[in-house]
Every structure is written in C-alpha cells, then in structure tokens.
Amino acid sequence: MKAIFKRTSLLLMGALIGISTVQAQKSPQDMDRFIDALMKKMTVEEKIGQLNLPVTGDITTGQAKSSDVAAKIEKGLVGGLFNLKGVDRILEVQKLAVEKSRLGIPLLFGMDVIHGYETIFPIPLGLSCTWDMAAIEKSARIAAIEASADGISWTFSPMVDISRDPRWGRVSEGSGEDPFLGGAIAQAMVYGYQGANLQDQLRRNDEIMACVKHFALYGAGEAGRDYNTVDMSRNRMFNEFMYPYEAAVEAGVGSVMASFNEIDGIPATGNKWLLSDLLRGQWGFEGFVVTDFTGIAEMIEHGVGDLQTVSALALNAGVDMDMVSEGFVGTLMKSIKEGKVRMGTLNTACRRILEAKYKLGLFDNPYKYCDVNRPKRDIFTKEHRDAARKIASESFVLLKNAPLAAQKNAAPVLPLKKQGTVAVIGPLGNTRSNMPGTWSVAARLNDYPSLYEGLKEMMAGKVNITYAKGSNLIGDAAYEERATMFGRSLNRDNRTDQELLDEALKVAAGADVIVAALGESSEMSGESSSRTELGLPDVQHTLLEALLKTGKPVVLTLFTGRPLTLNWEQEHVPAILNVWFGGSEAAYAIGDVLFGDVNPSGKLTMTFPKNVGQIPLFYNHKNTGRPLAEGKWFEKFRSNYLDVDNEPLYPFGYGLSYTNFQYSDIALSTPTLGKDGSVTAVVTVTNTGKYDGAEVVQLYIRDLVGSITRPVRELKGFNKIFLRAGESKTVSFTITRDLLRFYDYDMNYVAEPGDFNIMIGGNSQTVKTAKLTLK
C-alpha cells in the first residue's frame, strides 16, 4: 500500500506551545560541511562510540545492564542513553559528554514515551479507537512538550505493528489490525512528536525525534507468543502489514527500530533486504536505524553466529545504533581490522547518528533540552491533563447497553443518573498504579486517582460512591504476581475469596447501581505478556456472577489492553463499557462517560473473537473457495468450525453510542471510474436518538475480481462527525484509482479494471453498499 496521506499536520503549528527556542535555518550543505569536519577529527574508536546506546535509569526491559557508563561517556564511547528520567540528571550527564569527552559530542537522550510522559493518554490501542487524528497528534505533541521539558530528545514511538492476535500482549501498544488506519495514526504521531518534518531540522526545543517500531512484522509472531518467529509471504507483507512503517517514513520519522523477530529466516536486526534495500532503497529513509533492546546479541540465540559475527552482520545490514548489546563497541574494531566490516560502512552509520544530533540542534546548543525551569511550567499541567481527560473519554468503546433483563422496556442502564448510591466493585476499582497502563515509564503513579477516588471527587454532594475489592485479580497468586510487575502491584488481599465476596455483596446491597471494575491489570498486556486464555480471570468471573444475581443494574467497566473473549458477559451483563487503560485522567474520563457528560464514540480497531480458537480473526480476511453463506453458522464442507460460528463477538469498527445513527443509501457521483478522475460516494447520517454524539463513518471497498485473491473488505476512508440529536449531515468520500491499488503477484502496485463494492457504515459489518466499475 502506498502512502495516501500527505503532510497535513492537523494541529496548527504552535497552537499548543510550551517555550520554544527557534534556531536559524541551515542548509543540508551546512550540515554536510560540519559533519565532514567533525568526522575528520574522530578516531575509529570514537566513531564506533557514536553507535553505542547503553541503558540507564530505573527501568530496564531485559537482562543486560551496562556498567560504568560514565567512564565510557568520557572516552567518547557512547552515542546516547535512554530511560534516564529527570532534567537535572540529564543535564549532568550531557555535561559529562560535552565537557569531559575529547570532542564534546552531545548525547541523545531517548525514552519510551509511548502514550504520554507524566500526563498519560490512553494506551495506543485505546487511542486508536478514537479514530480522531487531530486528538492523536495532540497527544503526541503534549508528550513531546513534556518529555523535552525533562531533557528527552528522542522517543521510541510510534509502535505501528499490525497484529491480528490478541494473545500477543503488545497489541496494547499498537493501533490494531488495520494498515490504512494504522498508517494514518503513524503519521499523526510522527507529526505530533517532530512537528515540522525532521528533514528541515527541529528548530524548537519542545519537539523531539520519533522512532517508528518495530521494523518489521513484529506483531505477526506465531501463536501470539512474544518474540516468536514470523513467516509471511511478500504479498501479505506489503498488502497487509508494511504500510504503517512506510507511512511513518513518509512523514519524515527520524529513526527506525529493528524488530526482534526474523523475516524470511534472517533476524530483522541482520536483514539487509529489510533495513537497506527496502527501507532506504525503496522508501528513501534518511534517518538512522537503532536495534531493539539487545537485538544484536540476541542473534547469537537465533543461531546466526557469535557476537563479532552478528555485530558485523547488523552493521552491514544497515543498523546504525546498537541498543544495549555492546556488540559494536566490543567487536567492530576487530571486524574492521579483519576486513569483515568496511570503514565506509562505519562512516555511514556514524554520519547518520551525527546528522540526527545536528537536525535536533544539539551541536548548536547541547543543552537545548535541559532548561531546568521547564518541568514545573510544562509537565503535568492543567491544560495537558484536560486534553488527556477529553481524549481518554473518546477512546472508550461502549460494547453493550441494554435495560435490565427484568425491565425490558425501560431505558438502557447507561448513562447513570447523578443520584443515589453507586458501588464501585472489583480488583481494578481502587488502584492508582494500574490506571496509566503498560509502557508508562515516566508515570507518577501516586498522582493519578483510582476509579473510586476519581468518581468520589467528581460526584461529591451528588452521588454516594462506595467501594469493595470483591476479589483478587486472579485466583492463582503466582500468576497475579507475574501480571503486576514493575511497581504495578494490586496489593493482593489475604482474605479468602468468600470473605472478599461477602464484603462486596454487603456493599452492593446498599447501592442502586454497581460499577464492576474488572478485567486485566495493566501489566497483563504489554511486552512479554502473552496469554492463551482471554476470558475474565476466574475469581473475577465468580464475582461478576454474584453481582448480577443481586438483580441490580451492573455496568461492567472493563479494563483491558487487548480484545478479551466476553461471550458470557455479552449475554448476561446489561452494560459493558470498555475503558482500556485510559491514562492519568482515566478515572475522571470514565466518570464523564458513565454519568453521561460525554457520549461514548470509540470504535474498535481490533476484532473481539468469541473464543481463543477463532484467532487469528480479523475483518479484512480473504473469502476462500468455500466461504460460509451469510447468516449460517455451520455447513458441512465449508470453511467453518463445528463448535463456534465464524463471526466475531464484536467486529472491527464496532462501538455503540447513547444515541443512534441512521445511514442513507450511498449515492455515487458516477458508477464508473475512468483512468483519471474520481468518484464521490455520499451518505447522509442522521442522529435519530435523544443525545448529541459523534459517529465514525467508515468506508470499505471490496475488489470483486482480481489477478490475486482480494480481501472481503478493506478500510479505505473514515470521517468522524458530530451530530446534535435529530441532526443530519452528509459525508462524502473521494474514490480515486489510487485508493484501489494493491500489490499484485509480481509486486507491482496496480489498480485492476473491474467491479468493486463500495461500502459505508458505522462498523465493518453493518454497511450500505453500492457498485463501482473501474474502466
């Protein structure tokens, strides 16, 4: 898929301004001259040093920890550091590099600023469910302002790995299963972090360099097990998985992170086709490539060679910076002497790192990001927190909203009335540290209210909010420990399951409504958090069943970092609001939606399967030669299962609102599309309910006959609109030949003449359809 989105930063430049220093514009020739002169002074050792990225700080994600980093910095053997928090500490270390090393080359300071810095936004999977590119760009912009105020010049984001396997915990870090949407989000994030295209240099001190990851196909690991093998046809790669990386490159992303997995039998970190031929040759990437954490050393375990061999392999493949392995500083000198690595290759890598520093403005002012007055002014501000609250409320997906079974004609359970007593019950109801979600390295865990605390604060004087834990996270204590690492403990309760349940039922008895805060802990998704069972954990299920038996309205407020299997819940619970992990302001945002101040508008970006056996289950699948007829759930000798139908529980694009939207038929400006030109597809959407609300209008296209088999539908456009109760709006999509292109058998990017179904609707399954012919 080729990039369709052009450079259109959705934020007005400078609309959300921290302090900024504007530097004089320099030409590419100025940069070349500067770096030529600098490199002439550098020893081979110092050049290799620029390629070295050791870890610091409190968070490490692997086994390795580099020692005596300071001494290495003084010797010029370090190019950057990452996950060191605090502008004072960073200033100190930067001084070491600038004042104590022979050439005074400044360091890059990286960090996993994945969904916000101290003001935390929803986990990326949640963020993607907003389908709101301006909001997503704004979240990255705010993250850049805050991170840069604290000394950070480089973030390891956006993560754009397409995944169709919710067993993989890292689906929480990406934008779901669709490449078109994923590409749009990748670009919005890059613009948010880097502002103006990095190729023109970052002139401000509140913009930072982005790093698209994990290149490539990391989300396609076998069996959803993290770091596992990937094997994929080129055709699938380019039609279904590669576009978001390419889109980030097109947006000018400054760096790319190689992934842990192998591609065609060669680990990505040592894959020359991937890192040089495709990334630089075909896509024209001009920044630098960094490995993932110990990516080089892991090639020893992959079975590709010893540290010297794999380090040379990585450099020769196109890696420029070695994260943590110390394979470059440890072995490249020897490889150069033995002729296994050419000096020219080292020079190129070194130049790319220096160019990044130059573009960031660090040679003009190494302390550009070290303004010690900024943190107070720019981090965790009211303005940022208000934005995070609003965006979080947009990310929640209302999965079900019905009246109580006993009162069929009554109003749905949500929104709640601001009166009476509401009991928050569940192991996720009163935990601060679980609110921000996985990969929130810079979080201030004690400063974010738990759901119970947030609701109490918001509803003071109106609603009596009560609380009981009700159960532990998981019956098995050892499993719970594995699922609550890195300071995200849920403080396991030593009472028996029955004691916890009894207390919860007592609290429930005094309430008018029960908000059941259940699901995953934040560390049950994210890195190294694959699962093979995706239902609510045992003790939580028992708790939910008991709460439902009270006959009171229950709202399942579901915390999760991935699609879960919720068949039972869908059948028995009247209202289900999926809140993912909403970030620092999540509690307030949940309150906004539960009590109706915000009408939910999130739409799923990943299919929710009915059970784990259906995985991988995704909306843009192929038809097969034996598709199951629509509406059927089993037919002998058709592509299906004996024990479950083929349908998801909740399809891609799905999400309810407190109001209803009605779609007109599609009007095409013409039923045929010529070689040039375009067709407009128009629908009228009407808000037929009682609440104002936002709707994500989605365009899907099916290529009915192709030279290779084509998916049953593919997302090709979306438009989020706001409609007052009773209001109608027309939404139009422009369809050009470009939108119909795909990679054919010979990897040509073509649009083939023939018939297409044009589908528009509020999710991937409920659509209006029109026919279009491409001449």
Buried-exposed string 106-140: b where 16+ CB fall within 10 A, e elsewhere: bbbbbbbbbbbbbbbbbbbbbbbbbbbbebbbbbb
**Smallest gap from residue 60 Cβ to ligand BGC (A):** 8
Residue-by-residue DSSP string for 473-500? S-SSHHHHHHTT-TT-------S-HHHH
**Smallest gap from residue 718 Cβ to ligand BGC (A):** 27
Active-site hit among 292, 320, 378, 592: 292
Residues with Cβ within 8 Å of residue 309, at least 6 apart in sequence: none
Binding site residues, ligand BGC, CB under 6 A: 61, 112, 156, 213, 292-293, 527
The Cα 315–Cα 72 span in angstroms is 21
Residue 250 identity: E
**Smallest gap from residue 302 Cβ to ligand BGC (A):** 16
| Pairing of β 288-290 and β 262-263 | unpaired
Residue-by-residue DSSP string for 338-382? TTSS-HHHHHHHHHHHHHHHHHTTTTT-TTTT--TTHHHHHSS-H
The Cα 369–Cα 208 span in angstroms is 9
**Smallest gap from residue 208 Cβ to ligand BGC (A):** 14
**Smallest gap from residue 705 Cβ to ligand BGC (A):** 41
Eight-class DSSP state of 460: T
Structure tokens at 300: 């020893």
Nearest to 125 by CA among 651, 581, 429: 581
* Three-state SS at 718: strand
* Three-state SS at 50: helix
**Smallest gap from residue 61 Cβ to ligand BGC (A):** 4
**Smallest gap from residue 159 Cβ to ligand BGC (A):** 6
Structure tokens at 204: 């401000």
Distance between alpha carbon 588 and the CA centroid of its chain, in Å? 22
How many beta carbons lie within 10 A of that of residue 104, not counting itself? Answer: 12
HSE-CB at 623 with a 13 A cutoff on CA atoms is 15
Helix axes 307-317, 343-359, angle to 10 degrees: 60
The Cα 247–Cα 228 span in angstroms is 25
Q: Give whichever of 174 and 470 is closer to ligand BGC, judged by the CB atom.
A: 174
How many beta carbons lie within 10 A of that of residue 376, not counting itself? Answer: 10
Structure tokens at 528: 């190294």
Q: Give whichever of 172 and 560 is closer to ligand BGC, judged by the CB atom.
A: 172
Q: Give whichever of 11 and 257 is closer to ligand BGC, judged by the CB atom.
A: 257
Q: Give whichever of 79 and 361 is closer to ligand BGC, judged by the CB atom.
A: 79
**324 contacts 293 by C-beta, under 8 angstroms:** yes
* Three-state SS at 207: coil
| Alpha-carbon dihedral 45, 46, 47, 52, rounded to 10 degrees | 90
Furthest-apart CA atoms within the chain: distance in Å: 82
Nearest to 55 by CA among 310, 294, 353, 360: 294
Nearest to 255 by CA among 155, 126, 373: 155
Q: How far is CA 544 from CA 274, 453, 536, in A?
A: 48, 21, 9
**Smallest gap from residue 662 Cβ to ligand BGC (A):** 43
Q: Give whichever of 213 and 357 is closer to ligand BGC, judged by the CB atom.
A: 213
**Smallest gap from residue 757 Cβ to ligand BGC (A):** 38
Q: Give whichever of 150 and 527 is closer to ligand BGC, judged by the CB atom.
A: 527
**Smallest gap from residue 293 Cβ to ligand BGC (A):** 4
Q: Give whichever of 268 and 399 is closer to ligand BGC, judged by the CB atom.
A: 268
**Smallest gap from residue 560 Cβ to ligand BGC (A):** 20
Q: Give whichever of 146 and 592 is closer to ligand BGC, judged by the CB atom.
A: 146
Q: Give whichever of 3 and 59 is closer to ligand BGC, judged by the CB atom.
A: 59
Q: Give whichever of 61 and 684 is closer to ligand BGC, judged by the CB atom.
A: 61
Q: Is 738 a catalytic residue?
A: no
The Cα 761–Cα 651 span in angstroms is 12
Q: Give whichever of 4 and 113 is closer to ligand BGC, judged by the CB atom.
A: 113
How many beta carbons lie within 10 A of that of residue 489, not counting itself? Answer: 16
Catalytic residues: 292
